[in-house]
Amino acid sequence: RRKEWSTPWELYFWDGISFRDDGTTPLLEASVESNFTDPRLFQESETRLNTNMTAIMNYSRTFGAHTVGGMLGVTREDFDMEFFSAFRRNFLSPALDR
């Protein structure tokens, strides 16, 4: 199972010379740096079932000057899988699905 909740994120930059009105706090400018601008959710679930069975039988018998032999082999493999995937974007708030 996998659930990925993503919200856009910003980096703040300072030009090195601009300050807020108090004269000491740098004036920072925000820039969205994620490759998307809206909250989004990706969710998937996967179930697997593997069954393997292998059997080998050898037979050998000697009758006087004659030998009879044989080998029998059987194999069986089952694979059962279910997969579900969903994606949604444009949530009303970035705090909805935490």
| Rg for the chain, CA atoms, rounded | 33
Average pLDDT over every residue of 28-56: 86
Q: What is the pLDDT, as a whole number, of residue 26?
A: 92
Q: What is the pLDDT, as a whole number, of residue 56?
A: 92
pLDDT over 80 at 98, yes or no: no
SS3 48: strand
Q: For 1-98, where are the alpha helices, taking DSSP H only?
A: none
Q: What is the pLDDT, as a whole number, of residue 97?
A: 59
pLDDT over 60 at 16, yes or no: yes
* Structural tokens at position 22: 């108090």
The DSSP annotation for 30-89 comes to: EEE-SS-SS-EEEEEEEEEEEEEEEEEEEEEEEETTEEEEEEEEEEEEEEEEEEEEEEEE
pLDDT over 60 at 3, yes or no: yes
Total Cβ atoms within 10 A of residue 47? 10
pLDDT over 60 at 65, yes or no: yes
Q: What is the pLDDT, as a whole number, of residue 10?
A: 83
